[in-house]
Amino acid sequence: MATCSDEEDAVIAGCAFDFMHVHGEDEKCHDVPKPVTNDAVKDFATAVAEREKGVKHDHEEGSGCPYRVDIVDVRNIDSEVIYLVRFTETCNQKRNYFLKRYDDFKRLDEDLRNADQKRPSDEITILAHLPDLPSNGRFGFRRSLSKLGMSDFIDKQREALQQCMDTLIGQVPDLSTQPHLQAFFCKVGKAKRGALNALEEQALQQEQMLMSTMIADARSFVTLESVQGFWRLTTSQRIWQIMPDGIATLDGRHRGHQFDWIESGVGAERTIMRPDGWEIDLDKSTPQKLIWLFPGKAVVEWVRVADDIAKEALQRVKALRESIRKNTEARRIDRVQTRGPSADAQ
């Protein structure tokens, strides 16, 4: 009996053999794919509804929900560096976006360090390590040049801030236990918003417009049109082909509508998903690399494959299938000849 590769099976929801080990068509995979119907639109709607309801997957009750923080974009506007930060609850892929300045990160760092200093010595802290925040001016003159697009200072600072957030959030199983981090990732509530004066309300609306624009821009690079072509998982040599209409084939064969791609929505609300629930992370994907997300599952990466390389690989798969077919037929004929027609008929 054939066995399956867990890494690829998480994405194709079927048997995940390398193309050099294609099995017979009558062999079945141990892993059972997620049930789907014959209605692609219905299955897609079900997957979307689960996301909106915050359905959790693969997490035991009380085990907590891992978080992920991504700085998905950065802008230099009127000499002010603004970061678009995404906070994700990975067990249900619920996401919130925030605009942050360096001073916001600095204030968080100061609050966490002050709280750590005031903590009783016998009290156990979840944040065992507070990473060093990158300086906002250690690159001196190069930072001034970066405002004119003449330096990579902003990109380096973005990477350093991302590392800080990764270190912090990786230590927190429950955000409610860290009030300073919780406040950092807290949206303005209706009660607080009602207390804003006219100028503050106008500033908040401008922030929201800027955030929507940054989200839409970050997502604009990956569309159904830009991703058509050949792809593979980073851990596999099997070839996926995406057609202009979203139809997806694996190793030259259509495996079911649950693997086809559907693009919906516009701007910051645009998504590309499959009816089986997997979704492309449009914020972080590019036309050369796709990041796949599913509630409670590890992130999966696809990379683009050049047309000539993909077509050559598909030809090898085709030849191997034909060889398997011929060998299967030869074995069948051999059994008939060995056992005799009457035995085979029985």
Kindly write down the DSSP assignment for every residue of 282-303, as one continuous string: TTT-BTTEEEEE-TTS--EEEE
Quick check: 283 and 68 in contact, CB under 8 A?
no
Largest pairwise CA distance in the chain: 93
CA distance 180 to 106: 12
Range with the poorest average pLDDT among 50-59, 66-75, 179-188, 248-257: 50-59
pTM above 0.75, yes or no: no
Distant-in-sequence, close-in-space partners of 315: CB < 8 Å, separation ≥ 6: none
Flag whether pLDDT at 146 surpasses 80.
no
Query: At residue 187, does pLDDT exceed 80?
Result: no
As a whole number, mean pLDDT of residues 224-247 equals 93
Q: How confident is the model at residue 203 (pLDDT cuts 50, 70, 90)?
A: confident
Give the position of tokens 């202009």. 244
Instruction: State both tokens at 317.
Output: 């798969």
Summarised one tens digit per residue, pLDDT across range 275-296 is 988 999 999 999 999 999 988 8
From 11, 68, 77, 82, select the one nearest 258 (Cα to Cα).
Answer: 11
CA dist 42 to 36, 105, 249, 344, Å?
A: 9, 43, 21, 45
Tokens of 322: 């034909």
Strands across the sheet containing 80-89:
67-77, 80-89, 94-100
Sorted by sequence, the CB contacts under 8 Å of residue 144 that are 6+ apart come out as none
Lowest mean pLDDT among 3-12, 143-152, 164-173, 207-216: 3-12
| Percent of residues, the chain, with pLDDT higher than 70 | 73
pLDDT value for 345: 52
Report whether 222 contacts 284 (CB < 8 A).
no
Report which of residues 180 and 136 the model is more confident about.
Answer: 180
CB-count burial class (<10 Å; 0-12, 13-18, 19+) for 130:
middle
Give the pLDDT confidence score for residue 50 in this predicted structure. Answer: 58
For the segment 85-107, what is each residue's pLDDT rounded down to a tens digit? Answer: 999 988 888 889 999 999 999 99
Three-state DSSP at 94 gives strand
- Using DSSP, state whether 81 is helix, strand or coil: strand
- Does residue 225 surpass a pLDDT of 70? yes
pLDDT band at residue 120 under the 50/70/90 scheme: confident
Q: Is residue 2 over pLDDT 50? A: no
Q: To which H or E segment does residue 253 belong? A: strand 253-254
pLDDT of amino acid 139: 46
